[in-house]
Structure 1
Amino acid sequence: MFSSHGPSVRELAVQGLSSVERGYDLLAPKFDHTPFRTPDRMLDAVEETLAQYEGAFGAGLDVCCGTGAGIGMLSRLCRGRITGVDLSAGMLAQAEHRYGADADRVDFVRADARALPSALAETYDLAVSFGAFGHFLPSERPALFSGIHTALRPGGVFAFPIGAPLPLGSRVWWATTGFDAAMRVRNALWRPPFVMYYRTFPLGPVREDLRAAGFTVETVPLTHFGHRPDGTPHWRLILARRRG
């Protein structure tokens, strides 16, 4: 799963016993050599689907941008300024190093996604996020979605991929269920907590929380990843639009 340039088992253990912020600060220099980075295949599928359904945008926001995997995609979809927001200073340092030559167009802001700075209000036409939602408890989704809603201009779109429910009893279902159970035990016994769960972001409740935050919600199949035996897609793209 990890390349020779990735973190060692010891480094992963130290990260896992840290807070989310500190853990990603430690992991940042090697993060792009782990399977945790959003695959280019997913980024390409989202970019192609957004271009097909929405066309071009003005300014773009990457929420929980990490080392900046989604910034290149936004720079191609958006005509205006691109901003990446993340809590981890270490991850932002890696992103800034990667996109330093584009500083006239790309900037990065260190902030908690649950409390985005007021200076970002009604600034963006497109917001995206990849692979970060497991770091937010269900009770934190309203604050997360409300902040993104505020950052968008009226009519702006918040887009992100979401996977279909895993087949009950499948190998992946057992793996993710076991991981989540282990994390709950870890967080009950160890401080600071490290919030990372795989099965706390189901489509139905997420859709309701988006609507409560002021979005209209549409789902588009990401056909690049095929369909399940019942004909439903393995992955969908959520298009949450700020009303008005």
Structure 2
Amino acid sequence: MFAPEGPTLRELAVQALSSVERGYDLLAPKFDRTPFRTPEAVLGPVLRELREMGPFGSGLDLCCGTGAGVEVLRRVCRERVTGVDLSAGMLAVGRERLRGAAGPGDVSDGEDGPGDVPGGVAGPRPAWVRADARALPFGPVFDVVVSFGAFGHFLPRERPVLFGQVASVLRPGGRFVFPVVAPARPGSALYWGLLGFDAVMRIRNALWRPPFVMYYRGFRLSEVRAELERAGLAVETRPLPELGRRADGSPRCRLVVATRR
């Protein structure tokens, strides 16, 4: 499905009946050939905003997957870049992919130092860390934390812990940055599509164990803003005009910038 070298329908079904961790381990070798990887159309505008805020010393890609956010951070961080994810399979693919793009020896696990990223842009070598985002194994050592498309894997009741963990690994003045898409207009095809997907996931989790948490409709900016502020982060949003506007003129996508007080 999705592409000639992408996962088959059977493979997707097996992954969907696994846990989140096991499902992504299975999907990892073909993940970059699916629509689930954050597209360049989103990464580019976020990179532009980060360049205006930066440069930074050290950066963390939270729930990094195969490293799309790691590549962005290597362009704006001078000292250290780290990707953290629960799936060992996704980390392994990210490590190999960047190693292949950078050349032998330019990317290593847990090593910092100069290297090349795709496109010939110099940046620190990334470290790849397997850990639960709700229990990060770091102190307050990061100047910026980014995340792309991961929040649907956390139940609303888990978000205060998640945001508290992010705040705990940021230096004072450090920033937590992530894009948020505007909610689908009620009655639109996207609205019904998301509603149907959410319903299927809830039925699946009611009938099958282990659960696979992926509920993107529950990530509402008004609620998220309040939770970030309770975690000690001052929140602002910035439009990403490259991603278009809705019929009422509001941006289709905003960038949340939450700064540790």
Secondary structure (helix, strand or coil) at the match of 1:59 reads: strand
TM-score normalized by the length of structure 2:
0.90
Which amino acid in 2 is paired with 1:223?
P
5+ residue gaps, structure 2: 100-105, 113-124
Q: Give the drift of 1:102.
A: 2.4
Aligned to 2:223: 205
Aligned to 2:90: 91
Secondary structure (helix, strand or coil) at the match of 2:127 reads: strand
- RMSD, matched Cα: 0.9
Secondary structure (helix, strand or coil) at the match of 2:168 reads: helix
Secondary structure (helix, strand or coil) at the match of 2:57 reads: coil
Secondary structure (helix, strand or coil) at the match of 1:161 reads: strand
Q: Which of 105, 127, 132 lines up with 1:107 in the alignment?
A: 127
Secondary structure (helix, strand or coil) at the match of 2:251 reads: coil
Q: Give the drift of 1:189.
A: 0.7
Which amino acid in 1 is paired with 2:237?
T
Percent identity between the two aligned chains = 62
Q: Give the drift of 1:229.
A: 1.8
Aligned to 1:185: 203
Secondary structure (helix, strand or coil) at the match of 1:81 reads: strand
Aligned to 2:102: none
Q: Give the drift of 1:3.
A: 0.6
Q: Give the drift of 1:55.
A: 2.5
Which amino acid in 2 is paired with 1:191?
R
Aligned to 1:14: 14
Alpha-carbon deviations, 1:162-211, whole Å to 9, x = none? 01111001000000000001100110110000000120101000000000
Q: Give the drift of 1:80.
A: 1.2
Q: Give the drift of 1:137.
A: 0.5
Question: Counterparts in 2 of 1:138-217, with a 5 A limit?
Answer: 138-217=156-235
**For the residues of structure 2 that align with 1:173 and 1:229, how far apart are their CA atoms?**
15
Q: Does the CA-based 8 Å contact 2:95-2:107 persist in structure 1?
A: no
Aligned to 1:66: 65
Question: How many pairs are equivalent?
Answer: 240
Secondary structure (helix, strand or coil) at the match of 2:254 reads: strand
Q: Give the drift of 1:98.
A: 2.1
